[in-house]
Amino acid sequence: MVKQRRIRAHSCCASVCCRRGPLKTLTKPAIFARETSCDCRAPHEKLTIAQACRGTPVDRPVRVYADGIFDLFHSGHARALMQAKNLFPNTYLIVGVCSDELTHKFKGFTVMTEIERYEALRHCRYVDEVLRDAPWTLTPEFLEKHKIDFVAHDDIPYSSAGSEDVYKHIKEAGMFVPTQRTEGISTSELITRIVRDYDVYARRNLQRGYTAKELNVSYINEKKYRLQNQVDRMKEKVRTVEEKSKHFVYRVEEKSHDLIQKWEEKSREFIGNFLELFGPDGTWKQVFQERSGRMLSYALSPRESPCNSPPRELSPLRSPSPPSPPARWHSARPSPPNSPKGASASISSMSEGDEDEK
């Protein structure tokens, strides 16, 4: 059953994918606009924002137009285009980029050329079409020519070319859809950073191999910047040596601390073993007392020879004395004893003879 359900689910997914067609992969940049890129042959009816939000019309996408200079293309530009692309369920985003001539005339000099700005927009994932040399002010003829349904831009009034707001008539026609600006990032902000830190970036590019002529830097400033670069390199070397020396001292302190700790542990162990051996109640004192007690006991009670020891042999220098004949008490006088033990033996024998006679 589980296997059959998996097969059914797989077939359902395959049928859905076949109906929708293969997924679109972004492998090519956006196209450049022609006279009109709208392939819909039906009359281009005017849409309201409510209709576009509901996903109508079904036969064509909602064509949204966003224009600008897009100099130093940054994340703020990309986020604005992302908002324009996601305004409606089915949006075709056309981005108009003004030429260098119009931009320099009405706004000021740009960092990037118009060709560089065109290419930057073509490689943004949210852009479907790039319109080169876009007009500064949008006319009804222009909107009709390119079949534009809505215009997307931030809601701040944009005063230029003698007008307080170049999008005023678009707003009045109900074709304006606002987007939100990204705070903290703009082309003017990026240029301000570069101008504010001009010396830093000039030194950076000199260090990377650019000449003073390419950077429009005078001879004196060039020598000053190069000297500052050398000073900075020396400071970096000194800072590196200081960090290495601090790291070395830290390692030495750490190792010395470990050595001192190990030495203290070994010292405590040595002292403990010494006290355990030679202290008041140490092992050495017990051993000494046991040995002295044994020696005293040996001195007071000598050990007996074992009963099964072999008999003591006489020395060859002494000859055995001949056996004395049995002497009777009345015929021979007993010889005087040579030792106290002999005397006692003779006395006992005499007393035994007296008792026999009686």
* Range name among 49-58, 222-231, 326-335 with the lowest pLDDT average: 326-335
Give, in order, the Cα–Cα distances in Å from 273 to each of 57, 259, 261, 279: 97, 21, 18, 9
Residues 6+ apart with CB under 8 A from 117: 69, 70, 71, 73, 97, 110
pLDDT in tens, 293-351: 777 777 676 555 555 555 555 445 444 555 555 544 444 454 454 444 454 455 455 54
CA count, 13 A, side-chain hemisphere, 266: 6
pLDDT reported for residue 12? 46
pLDDT in tens, 187-204: 999 999 999 999 999 999
* Range name among 26-40, 53-67, 328-342 with the lowest pLDDT average: 328-342
Cite the residue boundaries of each domain of the chain with CATH code 3.40.50.620. 31-184
Q: What is 31-184's CATH topology? A: Rossmann fold (3.40.50)
b/e for 235-261, b at 16 or more Cβ within 10 A?
Answer: eeeeeeeeeeeeeeeeeeeeeeeeeee
Q: Could you give the CA distance from residue 81 to residue 94 in angstroms, rounded to a whole number?
A: 10
pLDDT in tens, 72-113: 999 999 999 999 999 999 999 999 999 999 999 999 999 999
Point out which residues pair with 176 in neighbouring strands. 151
Q: Could you give the CA distance from residue 102 to residue 80 in angstroms, rounded to a whole number?
A: 22
pLDDT reported for residue 186? 95
CB 121 within 8 A of CB 30: yes
pLDDT in tens, 131-144: 999 999 999 999 99
User: For strand 31-32 and strand 62-68, is the pairing parallel, antiparallel, or unpaired?
Assistant: unpaired
pLDDT reported for residue 5? 46
3-state helix, strand, coil in the chain (%, to 5): 50, 10, 40
Q: What is the value of pTM for the model shown?
A: 0.59
pLDDT in tens, 149-167: 999 999 998 887 678 889 9
Q: Could you give the CA distance from residue 192 to residue 330 in angstroms, rounded to a whole number?
A: 159
Instruction: Work out the mean pLDDT of the chain and round it to a whole number.
Output: 78
* Range name among 67-71, 145-149, 229-233 with the lowest pLDDT average: 229-233
Residue recorded with tokens 């033990």: 341
When pLDDT is averaged across residues 29-54 and rounded to a whole number, the result is: 75
CA proximity to 178, closest of 159, 148, 152 = 152
